[in-house]
RNA sequence: GCCGGGAUGGUGGAAUAGGCUUACACGGACGCCUCAAAAGCGUCUGCCCGAAAGGGCAUGCGGGUUCGAGUCCCGCUCCCGGCACCA
């Protein structure tokens, strides 16, 4: 083998050498306008800060014990290639990376082994850093942090306090400091709910009212309490039969005091502002559906126990409301429930119970025992019971029965509906089961033979004294009836959301402590900013207290609850030293990732979360109507709703309070696809080690036994893990990067195929050979000018690759570089004027080998800031153009004509062509179409 | 069921604005180099008929619009992802 061939060993040496060089020279440090990361005037870096900026970010990883596999860095490499390109194209580029390091796996490991989660997590982070460094990612390493760093979570706590100390002013449509609310109450500008004067209330009463408006508030909410695990579970951790997925313990629906975030206050803005974002349409649709804004009306139905307010999206069908249904948990159910069944109550309505009270109690018990999954399972017969009372339909005075049924959800709308079986399928089903009247109020089209009709049509049967909707289309009917309801005091137009407030407490150790203490009244008090961070105390046992699995009447006690000298604290909060009790829940995993885009901007700032000037420079709005935000955010589609919605919410609160100029965190979002890998299974269905499977006669075998092949996720349990470390060892990091980028478009999921990596390796070897003599190691390029054909190809490639780079089409960019390189390979000598642009264009993808080649081409500095090649427009134009000639839709010939030939000339040339003439056979074409620069089409 | 995305050679993919289908790569075949192998290099490689020249057929299926459709329209099939009685 020639001594200077580009092998994996040589690649490895070059790579570590350049990684060191970049670190030593701080090559990828991005200067801030102000603060510790700013460059002094006149220094070389100061010029950078005057350039247009580009802020690109990846969704940061949770450092798991398994380390990175080849799927993880796909997005990181893509943003690295993009930002390296942008840096060469004249931008001041910020591309940071950090770690989302609080999380359950380290805590569970700690429960089992006693190993402190911080130790496990920090070791994992160290490993991740090494793996990422090996890939040559051009991060500004001064800006890296982990969410577990007290310097970081100090500011997570600070933001919590901002939210805690705010309320949402629905008139101004923004968050405002809670002190301004209190001032409104105190001045009388805002009336106290019960009509008393503010200063007649006790301090506790005042605080309770104010606390009820905070954007972060404590509330009793129903949760999945699992005494056997000592913790509250997410819905997805509960099996359909109401047991815990882990441990199979019983789970109880129980109301517990939890911290909540009032994200519903922002529902409108979170939905509306999606329009201004450059995000994939499916993600915007998912967020809109999640928020689930629906417009309709609230209508009050009077009863003896007070009126029942229902929410409906179809107020136009109110004349067809033949009964009401409340959720079993609805607060009015108790007072509504009659003493005895009214005369003539059908047996089916009573559930076979002697009195309404018994029927309601039995039905409620049945509903509460059913799990969420069971209750909402599809295609089960409608159930419910009559409460023994009636309501009055306000539009026509009709007396209609009131039921409870579990298909009505307490948490949505008002927890009560008017049932309109004629126009709603669920109501129709229910009406059939209970033999309730059905009135059509929208005329279905002729020939309609279905049950409920939910479509468009004229209103019918919708007339009463003083109001008629008959003949109106749905939209007009809605408007008319809402106006009438409002004018007559029966209701009003209303909007509801599917979105619910965000449950923000966890009974865990390994999370951010809340900066909250409770005083002797039991009400929460904010820990002052100058006492932040509230650090996690050391504990001996990381598990929550567990109980008898069947004892529903227990309360969670988080691990922090046992750190008694931490929990019981004496503080001077301005009124002398007093005893307080700390909040012992911790924040959820989302907290740290809700605002990290801001901290990268000013990671060392100890006075502010981020300085205004730095935030405005990197993330501020760029034009009228621009929300601002990160210029490019890349991550998996699995975060389409929760992470992205929570981060947007926090960002908007900080924006409202005047801390930041951008109103959205991420201006542009791209979801990268997943790298999948083949899973091979033996006859029993167990995964076989993918690396040991051999292909034979079109099938696959492992240890001689046939195995089946399917596509799946990469993971330990599927025995198909391939690590970037292995790829770097076998081919070098540059080859790995080029391969990942050439596999296909970033957004698309695709299977990993190790044997195809060699294609990228050969490509880099050929580039190397075009510049370096493999026998001597000397640079072999010549200074003689390139021939015209090479030059034209070069400039066509420059032009196309620039476009590809700008829109992250890395796969096609690489294909064009390969074409250019293949052309150079065929030349007797490689001209410098082609080799240098090729190396520059290659450098975003294969930065180490490109730096090395650049050095060997005689340059002394990094190419990271070399101007990216620009195509010469003169060389993009050819002298001649080849036109394909279609005859009746089939390509039958080709002609070459001058590039500036007019249509008549092209047409004449086409008809004169020998092959074309043969097909035309002397006939007179009916039509000849010339598309300039494209093709000729002849119709016979 | 609803919502979203997709289907192009043996494989991953390309075709950015309705204009030459299959760029680039993997795999495969043959050749060069070599005592040999590996590596490297070169040529060929959508399918069918044909000795060749050439012809026919091809972007999941069936229609349509158009001089011209992978791309637009209508109707299906299959695959992937998300949601779950939301009034």
| A819-840 confidence digits (pLDDT tens) | 999 999 989 899 999 999 999 9
Measured CA to C1', what is the nucleotide nearest A769? B40
Mean pLDDT across A232-257: 77
A697 CA to B53 C1' in angstroms comes to 36
pLDDT value at residue A377: 54
Once rounded to an integer, what is the mean pLDDT over residues A420-445?
A: 89
- Taking the CA of residue A13 and the C1' sugar atom of nucleotide B52, their distance in angstroms comes to 55
Angle at which helix A810-826 crosses helix A758-771, to 10 degrees, equals: 50
Q: Is A842 a residue whose pLDDT tops 90?
A: yes
pLDDT, position A870: 95
Q: Can you give the pLDDT at residue A342?
A: 92
Largest CA distance in chain A: 108
Contact A864, A138 (CB under 8 A): yes
Model confidence at A940: pLDDT above 80 = no
- Would you state the pLDDT for residue A21? 97
Query: pLDDT value at position A698?
Result: 62
Average pLDDT over all residues of chain A: 89
| Lookup: nucleotide whose C1' is closest to A918 CA | B54
pLDDT of A696 reads 67
State what percent of residues in chain A have pLDDT above 70: 97
pLDDT at A931 over 90: no
Rounded distance in angstroms from the CA atom of residue A427 to the C1' atom of nucleotide B57: 55
Q: State the Cα–Cα distance between residues A146 and A143, nearest whole angstrom.
A: 10
Residue A744: which region, alpha, beta or left (left: phi > 0; alpha: psi -120 to 50)?
left
A228 is written with which tokens?
């056997």
First to last CA, chain A: 62
Q: How far is it, in rounded angstroms, from Cα A143 to Cα A145?
A: 7
Question: Which position has the token pair 């499977």?
Answer: A693
The encoded tokens of residue A761 equal 């390796």
Instruction: For CA atoms A307, A308, A309, A314, give the dihedral sign.
Output: negative
Alpha helix ranges (H) inside A279-346: 281-291, 333-336
User: pLDDT > 90: what percent of chain A?
Assistant: 55
Question: Residue A542 CA to B49 C1' — how many Å?
Answer: 75
CA atom of A890 to C1′ atom of B53, Å: 20
**Distance from residue A577 (CA) to nucleotide B20 (C1'), in Å?**
85
Distance of alpha carbon A582 from the chain centroid: 33
Residue lying closest to nucleotide B21, CA to C1': A891
What average pLDDT does the segment A331-354 reach? Answer: 90
The pLDDT of residue A432 is above 80: yes
**Tens of pLDDT, residues A181-229:** 999 999 999 999 888 999 999 999 999 999 999 999 998 887 888 888 8
Q: Is the pLDDT of residue A797 over 70?
A: yes
Protein A752 CA to nucleic acid B6 C1', in Å? 19
* For residue A533, cis peptide bond before it (omega within 30 degrees of 0): yes
Count CB atoms within 10 A of the CB of residue A313.
Answer: 16
Question: CA-CA distance, A70 to A677, in Å (whole number)?
Answer: 10
Per the listing, tokens 């911290």 go with A259
**Is A877's pLDDT higher than 70?**
yes
Q: How far is the CA of A916 from the C1' of B47 (A)?
A: 26
pLDDT score for A353: 92
Task: Tell whether the model's pLDDT for residue A446 goes beyond 80.
Answer: no
C1'-nearest nucleotide to the CA of A311: B87
Q: How far is CA A180 from CA A183, A208, A584, in A?
A: 5, 16, 29
Kindly report, residue by residue over A259-312, the tens digit of the pLDDT: 999 999 999 899 889 888 988 888 888 888 888 888 889 999 999 988 999 999
Report CA-CA distances (Å) from A262 to A259, A354, A704, A821: 10, 43, 60, 57
Contacts 24+ apart (CB under 8 A), A551-554: A551/A227, A552/A225, A552/A227, A552/A252, A552/A254, A554/A225, A554/A227
- Contact between residue A85 and residue A93 where contact means Cβ atoms under 8 Å apart: no
Q: How many CA atoms lie within 13 A of A620 on its CB side?
A: 17
Closest-lying nucleotide for A498 based on CA to C1': B86
The CA distance from A865 to A852, in Å, is: 15
Helices and strands: H and E segment counts in chain A:
31, 33
Q: CA A825 → C1' B40, Å? A: 14
Contact A321, A393 (CB under 8 A): yes
Question: Which nucleotide is closest to the Cα of A7 by its C1'?
Answer: B39
SS3 of residue A475 by DSSP: helix
Looking at residue A240, the DSSP 8-state letter turns out to be T
Q: What is the mean pLDDT of residues A722-726?
A: 92
Neighbours of A735 (CB within 10 A): 26
> What does the pLDDT read at residue A73?
92
Confidence (pLDDT) at A894: 80
pLDDT at residue A153, as a whole number: 96
A117, β-bridge pairs = none
- In this complex, the nucleotide whose C1' atom is nearest to the CA atom of residue A894 is B20
Q: Which residue is the nearest neighbor of B25, CA to C1'? A: A759
CA distance A621 to A628: 4
For residue A463, the surrounding DSSP H or E stretch is: strand A463-464
User: CA A614 – C1' B13 distance (Å)?
Assistant: 42
Three-class SS state of A254: strand
Tell me what the mean pLDDT of segment A378-386 comes to.
76
User: Half-sphere exposure (CA, 13 Å, Cβ side) for A680?
Assistant: 18
Segment A876-895 mean pLDDT = 81
pLDDT for the residue numbered A380: 67
Task: Please give the residue that has the higher pLDDT: either A366 or A741.
Answer: A741
For residues A557 and A698, give the distance between their C-alpha atoms in angstroms, rounded to a whole number: 59
pLDDT at residue A254, as a whole number: 78
Contacts of A44 (CB under 8 A, 6+ apart): none
3 state SS for A660-705? CCCCCCECEEEECCCEEEEEEECCCCCEECHHHCEEECCEEEECCE
Return the axis-axis angle of helices A74-88 and A788-806, rounded to nearest 10°: 120
Distance CA A641 to C1' B86 in A: 17
Compute CA A241 distance to the chain's CA centroid, rounded to the nearest angstrom. 30
Task: Provide mean pLDDT across the span A109-123.
Answer: 91
| Nearest DNA or RNA nucleotide to A890 (CA to C1') | B68
Inter-residue contact A566 to A560 (CB < 8 Å): yes
- Edge-to-edge strand order for the sheet containing A216-226? A231-233, A216-226, A252-261, A502-503
- How many angstroms separate the CA of A809 from the C1' of B68? 29
**Residue at minimal CA–C1' distance from B39?**
A1
Checking each nucleotide's C1' against the CA of A887, the nearest proves to be B67
Instruction: Pick out the nucleotide with least CA–C1' distance to A417.
Output: B87
- Nucleotide nearest A640, from its CA to each C1': B82
Binning pLDDT at 50, 70 and 90, where does residue A552 land? confident
Cβ neighbors of A171 (< 8 A, separation 6 or more) are none
Q: Whose C1' is closest to the CA of A739: which nucleotide?
A: B25
Which CA-bearing residue is nearest the C1' of B27? A756
Residue position matching structure tokens 């990671």: A603
Nearest nt by C1' to A315 Cα: B87
User: Scanning the structure block, which residue is given the tokens 């002394």?
Assistant: A860
* Model ipTM value: 0.93
Residues in chain A, how many? 940
The C1' atom of B46 and the CA atom of A698 lie apart, in whole Å, by 20
**C-alpha angle A64-A67-A72 in degrees, rounded to nearest 5:** 95
**Average pLDDT rounded to a whole number, residues A765-784:** 91
Q: What gap in Å lies between CA A608 and CA A602, rounded to an integer? A: 9
Pair A329, A372: CB distance under 8 Å: no
Going from the C-alpha of A679 to that of each of A689, A718, A722, A789, A804, the distances in angstroms are 8, 6, 12, 47, 33
> Treating both helix axes as pointing N-terminal to C-terminal, what angle do A733-742 and A74-88 enclose, rounded to 10 degrees?
100
CA-closest candidate to residue A137, choices A102, A100, A98, A101:
A98
Residue A399's pLDDT is what? 93
Residue ranges of E strands in A251-301: 252-261, 294-301
State the Cα–Cα distance between residues A504 and A343, nearest whole angstrom: 50
* A869 phi/psi in degrees, rounded to 5: -55, 145
Query: Average pLDDT in the A522-533 region?
Result: 94
Which two three-digit tokens encode residue A71?
Answer: 């799927």
Q: Mark the nucleotides of strand B covered by protein, meaning any atom under 7 Å from a CB.
A: 3-5, 11-16, 19-21, 23-27, 38-42, 56, 67-69, 80-87
3-state secondary structure A851-881: HHHHHHCCCCCCCCCCCCCCCCHHHHCCCEE
User: For A887 and B68, how far is CA from C1' in angstroms?
Assistant: 10
Q: What are phi and psi of A447, to 5 degrees?
A: 90, 0
State, as a whole number of angstroms, the distance between the CA of A889 and the C1' of B64. Answer: 17
**Distance between CA A490 and CA A495 in Å, rounded?**
16
Q: How far is the CA of A758 from the C1' of B59 (A)?
A: 28
Q: Which residue is closest, via its CA, to the C1' of B2?
A: A289
Closest-CA residue to A124 (of A101, A155, A150, A154):
A101
Residue A738: HSE in the Cβ half-sphere, 13 Å Cα cutoff = 30
Q: Which nucleotide is nearest, taking the CA of residue A814 and each C1'?
A: B24
Q: How far is the CA of A185 from the C1' of B50 (A)?
A: 95
Tell me what pLDDT residue A240 has: 64
Among A496, A546, A453, A12, which Cα is nearest to A296's? A496
Q: Please report, to the nearest 10 degrees, the dihedral formed by the alpha carbons of residues A758, A761, A766, A769 taken in order.
A: -130
Q: Are A257 and A162 a contacting pair, CB within 8 Å?
A: no
Report CA(A697)–C1'(B45) in Å, whole number.
20
Cα dihedral A853, A854, A859, A860, rounded to 10, equals -80
Confidence bin at A697 (pLDDT 50/70/90): low
- A660 band by pLDDT with thresholds 50, 70 and 90: very high
**Token couple for A774:** 């493999």
Q: What are phi and psi of A250, to 5 degrees?
A: -65, 145
pLDDT number for residue A369 = 67
The answer, yes or no, to whether residue A318 has pLDDT greater than 90, is yes
Q: Which residue is nearest to nucleotide B15 (CA to C1')?
A: A812
Whether residue A599 is predicted with pLDDT greater than 90 in this model: the reply is yes
**A760: which nucleotide lies closest, measuring CA to C1'?**
B25
Return the number of other C-beta atoms located less than 10 Å from residue A464's C-beta.
16
By the 8 A CB rule, do A658 and A694 touch? Answer: no
């Amino acid at each position: 083998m020639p001594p200077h061939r580009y092998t994996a060993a040589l690649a490895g040496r070059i790579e570590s050498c350049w990684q060191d060089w970049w670190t030593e020279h701080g090559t990828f440090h991005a200067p801030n306008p102000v603060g510790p990361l700013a460059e002094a005037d006149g220094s070389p870096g100061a010029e950078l800060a005057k350039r247009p900026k580009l802020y690109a970010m990846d969704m940061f990883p949770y450092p798991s014990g398994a380390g990175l596999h080849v799927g993880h860095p796909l997005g990181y490499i893509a943003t690295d290639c993009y930002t390296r390109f942008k840096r060469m194209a004249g931008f001041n580029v910020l591309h940071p990376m950090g770690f989302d390091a609080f999380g359950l796996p380290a805590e569970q490991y700690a429960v089992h082994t006693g190993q402190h989660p911080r130790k496990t997590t920090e070791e994992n982070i160290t490993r991740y850093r090494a793996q990422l460094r090996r890939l040559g990612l051009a991060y500004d390493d001064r800006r890296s942090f982990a969410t577990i760093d007290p310097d970081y979570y100090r500011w997570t706590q600070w933001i919590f306090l901002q939210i805690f100390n705010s309320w949402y002013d629905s008139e101004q449509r923004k968050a405002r400091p809670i002190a301004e609310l209190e001032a409104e109450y105190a001045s009388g500008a805002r009336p106290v709910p019960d009509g008393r004067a503010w200063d007649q209330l006790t301090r506790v009463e005042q605080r309770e009212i104010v606390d009820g408006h905070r954007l972060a508030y404590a509330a009793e909410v129903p949760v999945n309490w699992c005494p056997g695990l000592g913790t509250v579970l997410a819905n997805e951790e509960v099996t359909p039969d109401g047991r815990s997925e882990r441990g199979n313990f019983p789970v109880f629906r129980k109301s517990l005091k939890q911290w909540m975030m009032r994200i519903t206050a922002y529902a409108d803005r979170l939905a509306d502002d999606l329009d201004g974002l450059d995000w994939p349409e499916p993600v915007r649709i998912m967020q809109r559906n999640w928020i689930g804004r629906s417009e309709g009306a609230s209508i009050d139905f009077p009863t003896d126990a007070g009126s029942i307010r229902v929410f409906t999206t179809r107020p136009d069908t109110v004349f067809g409301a033949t009964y009401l249904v409340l959720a079993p948990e609805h607060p009015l159910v108790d007072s509504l429930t009659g003493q005895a069944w009214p005369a003539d109550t059908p047996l089916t309505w009573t559930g076979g119970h002697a009195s309404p009270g018994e029927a309601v109690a039995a039905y409620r018990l049945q509903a509460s025992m059913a799990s969420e999954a069971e209750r909402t399972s599809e295609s089960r017969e409608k159930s419910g019971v009559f409460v023994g009372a009636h309501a009055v339909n306000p539009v026509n005075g009709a007396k209609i029965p009131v039921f409870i049924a579990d298909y009505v959800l307490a948490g949505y709308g008002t927890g009560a509906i008017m049932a309109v079986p004629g126009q709603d399928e669920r109501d129709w089903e229910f009406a059939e089961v209970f033999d309730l009247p059905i009135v059509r109020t929208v005329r279905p089209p002729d020939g309609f033979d279905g049950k409920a009709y939910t479509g468009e049509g004229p209103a019918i049967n919708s007339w009463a004294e003083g109001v008629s909707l008959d003949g109106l289309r749905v939209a007009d009917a809605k408007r008319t009836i809402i106006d009438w309801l409002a004018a007559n005091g029966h209701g009003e137009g209303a909007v509801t959301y599917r979105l619910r407030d965000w449950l923000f407490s966890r009974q865990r150790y390994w999370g951010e402590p809340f900066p909250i203490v409770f005083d002797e009244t039991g009400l929460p008090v904010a820990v002052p900013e100058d006492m932040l961070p509230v650090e996690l105390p050391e504990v001996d046992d990381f598990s929550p207290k567990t109980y008898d699995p069947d004892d529903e009447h227990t309360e969670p006690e988080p691990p922090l609850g046992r750190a008694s000298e931490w929990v019981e604290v004496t503080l001077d909060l301005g009124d002398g030293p007093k005893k307080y009790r700390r909040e012992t829940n911790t924040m959820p995993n989302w907290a740290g990732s809700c605002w990290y885009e801001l901290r990268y901007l000013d990671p060392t700032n100890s006075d502010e979360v981020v300085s205004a000037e730095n935030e405005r420079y990197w993330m501020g709005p760029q034009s009228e109507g621009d929300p601002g935000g990160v210029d490019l955010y890349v991550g998996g589609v699995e975060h389409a709703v929760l992470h992205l919605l929570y981060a947007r919410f926090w960002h908007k609160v900080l924006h409202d309070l005047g801390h930041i100029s951008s109103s959205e965190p991420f201006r542009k979002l791209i979801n990268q696809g997943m790298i999948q890998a083949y899973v091979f299974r033996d006859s029993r269905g167990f995964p076989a080690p993918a690396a040991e499977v051999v292909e034979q006669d079109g099938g696959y075998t492992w240890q001689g036994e046939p195995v089946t092949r399917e596509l799946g996720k990469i993971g330990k349990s599927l025995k198909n893990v391939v690590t970037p470390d292995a790829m770097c060892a076998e081919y070098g990091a540059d080859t790995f990067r080029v391969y990942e980028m050439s596999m296909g478009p970033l957004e698309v999921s695709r299977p990993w195929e190790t044997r195809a990596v060699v294609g990228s390796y050969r490509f880099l070897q050929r580039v190397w050979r075009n510049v370096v003599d493999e026998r001597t190691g000397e640079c072999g390029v010549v200074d003689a000018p390139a021939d015209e054909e090479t030059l034209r190809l070069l400039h066509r490639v420059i032009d196309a690759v620039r476009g590809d780079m700008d829109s992250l089409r890395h796969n096609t960019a690489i294909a064009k570089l390969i074409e250019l390189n293949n052309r150079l390979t065929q030349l007797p000598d490689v001209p410098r004027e082609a080799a240098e642009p090729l190396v520059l264009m290659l450098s975003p993808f294969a930065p180490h080998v490109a730096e090395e080649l650049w050095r060997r081409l005689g340059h002394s500095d990094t190419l990271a800031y070399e101007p990216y090649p620009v195509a010469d427009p003169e060389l993009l134009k050819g002298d001649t153009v080849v036109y394909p000639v279609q005859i009746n839709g089939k390509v039958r010939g080709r002609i070459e004509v001058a590039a500036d030939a007019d249509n008549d000339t092209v047409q004449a040339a086409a008809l004169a062509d020998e092959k074309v003439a043969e097909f035309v056979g002397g006939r007179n074409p009916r039509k000849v179409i010339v598309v300039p620069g494209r093709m000729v089409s002849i119709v016979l």
